[in-house]
Each structure stands twice: as structure tokens, then as C-alpha cells.
Amino acid sequence: MNLLNRLMLATLQLIPKRLMRPFAMRYIAGETLDDAVRVVRAINSNKRMATMDVLGENVAAEEESLGAVRACEDVLHAVQEHRLDANLSIKLTQFGLKIDEEFCYSNMRRLLEIAKSDHNFVRMDMEDSSTTSATLALYRRLRSEGFENAGVVIQANMRRSEEDIGGLISMRPNVRLCKGAYREPESIALTDREAIRSNYLKLLRLLFQSKCYVGMATHDDVLIRAGHRLIQEMNLQKSEYEFQMLYGVRTNLRDRIAAEGHRLRIYVPFGEAWHLYSIRRFKENPQIARYVLRALLFRG
């Protein structure tokens, strides 16, 4: 990240939440489950799927984790009650991964049991590199116990990802493949844009060849076009993959993908922890951050 972008993001973090909120809410469904249900209904009305995410991560107390589990249970019940075409994404540090791994496992298992009874699905998001091994180990454990309704995420910027996929292939995982949102040391992560794109496509081909269901999570035109070519080359059916995009981001591209007949899932975050999520999104996309900062500095 260049100096200008670092200064811009540092400035944004000093701006009061009340001023940031109107801009953040373009990318977040709202603070309540009712807000998220309303947004997902609208998404479903356009023949698109959703995944719902209760914002929050890196909790420090077990009671806070249990509150997050209850909030995620409410999401699953709401999906069932309102007959939404949606599943759930969670972060394991919100479920207590850094407090106690057995505690986190019990929380995750509890949630998967509910999802399984409702014929629903829960994806474990991938966080920074300090959690990668523990996340994959927990995923393998849960799959070995019969929870086929659990999914995982692989980040194309991580040098270890090809080896990680090799360790999962035998169970044919349901994978969300993304570039990777966290800043990591160059010793363990690719930092060059073209190198990340190249690795993304290498991993995508490997997953498809292994008959894994893949959610191609990207807003990158280059990767989307290459993904299209790979789908055609391998003669994949539309039931064997989906595209995934963030709520509020590149809506024209989203419409084009759907119009071409591909399965499309929108990632719908909501909750009171919207501010930290927004700052991370701005770090990923300085262009959005620049727009927000300009609008705030030259209001009225």
C-alpha cells in the first residue's frame, strides 16, 4: 500500500462513526437481523442467492462468543422461517478460536447441527494467517464427523494454499476461493497483483479438476473472464460452481454475471460491528476509501 493510501485510511479511522455510517451502509445490510432479511429478500427476488454474516471477530470472552452463536442461530431460523435462499458465513475467532479451540469446536458443531436439520450450509471464513492452520484442522475434523454442510475458504495470495487444497481434496470440499483480504508478510504471501491472479486461476483449475464445488469470490474482471473460459473449457454444469460478490460492490458487474445465467451469491454482512468491517473493506479497496473521504471532506 502506497503512502497516500496509508494516510487516507489513517484519516478515515479518525472520522466519527456517525459521519461514516451513511457511506458504510452502502455495503452493509444494516445493524439488525430484520435489516438483513429485508436485503436478502430483495436479492432473492432477482433470482440471486445470499450468504449472511453477523459482523464481529477476535472476541476475548466466552460469553461474547456465545452471544455470537445465538445471533447466528437466529439467522438460520430466520432463513427457514422466511424461506430465504441463503446460507451463513461465520468467523471462527468470533466463536472463540483464540480463546480455546475446543470451545470454538463445540460452538461450531452446535451451529452445524441446526443448519443440518434445516438442510442449510455454514461456511467458515478464512481470517489472517495466525488462524489458517487451526481453521483448516477444525474443518477437517467436522467433515470427518459427517458435517458435509460445512464449507471453507482458500486465499489465493497465500503461498501455502496449493498444499492446503491438496490436503482437503479427498473430502471434496465446498470452497470459496478469494484473493485474500489480509496484509501478510511477503515470506508467506504473494503481494504482486499478477502473481495473485495467476495463483488464483491455478487453484481454481485444481479445484475444478478435483470435482470440488467452488464459489469464485472476486470482483476482478480479469479473473471473471478467465473463470468463464475455464468453465467452458472443462464443460462444467451451472450446478458445479457459483460466483460470489460483496453486497453493494460493482452492481453492474453483478447484473451481467446473473444475466449470463450463472449462479450468483451475494455476501450480506450486518450487525453492530459495522465500523471495523468498513475500515477493512476500505483497506482492500482504496478507490472506495478515496471516494468516501472526498465526500466527507467536501460535504455541503
CATH of the domain at 70: 3.20.20.220
pLDDT range class, residue 24, cuts 50, 70, 90:
confident
Tell me how long the chain is: 300
Q: Looking at 125, 143, 254, 265, which residue is catalytic?
A: 125
Measured CA to CA, the distance from residue 251 to residue 246 in angstroms comes to 9
Distance (Å) of CA 271 to CA 31, 40, 131, 185 = 4, 14, 23, 30
The answer to whether residue 239 is domain-embedded is yes
Q: Looking at 48, 123, 176, 265, which residue is catalytic?
A: 176
Q: Answer with the residue of higher pLDDT: 72 or 283.
A: 72
The answer to whether residue 59 is domain-embedded is yes
Catalytic, 125? Answer: yes
Full domain range(s) for residue 248:
29-270
pLDDT range class, residue 300, cuts 50, 70, 90:
very low
Catalytic, 254? Answer: no
Measured CA to CA, the distance from residue 17 to residue 14 in angstroms comes to 9
Task: Look at residue 12 in the predicted model and tell me its pLDDT.
Answer: 67
Measured CA to CA, the distance from residue 152 to residue 126 in angstroms comes to 7
The answer to whether residue 287 is domain-embedded is no
Residue at grid coordinates 464445488 = 213
Residue 68 has a CB neighbour count (10 Å cut-off) of: 25
Measured CA to CA, the distance from residue 16 to residue 293 in angstroms comes to 12
Tell me: pLDDT of 42 over 60: yes
Average pLDDT over residues 136-142: 98
Measured CA to CA, the distance from residue 208 to residue 240 in angstroms comes to 9
Would you state the cell numbers that stand for residue 205, as one nine-digit string? 483449475
221-273: pLDDT as tens digits: 999 999 999 999 999 999 999 999 999 888 999 999 999 999 999 999 999 88
The answer to whether residue 292 is domain-embedded is no
Would you state the cell numbers that stand for residue 180, as one nine-digit string? 485474500
The answer to whether residue 223 is domain-embedded is yes
pLDDT range class, residue 108, cuts 50, 70, 90:
very high
Rounded to the nearest 5°, which phi and psi values hold at 47? 65, 35
Q: What stretches of 83-233 show up as alpha helix (H) in DSSP?
A: 101-117, 132-144, 161-168, 193-209, 221-233
Beta-bridge mates of residue 33:
none
The answer to whether residue 24 is domain-embedded is no
pTM score: 0.89
* Sequence-separated (6 or more) residues with CB below 8 Å from residue 288: 281, 282
Domains in the chain, number? 1
Tell me: pLDDT of 299 over 60: no
Tell me: pLDDT of 150 over 70: yes
| 268 burial via Cβ count (<10 Å: 0-12, 13-18, 19+) | buried
DSSP string of 151-170?
EEEEETTBTTHHHHHHHHGG
DSSP string of 126-144?
---GGGHHHHHHHHHHHHH
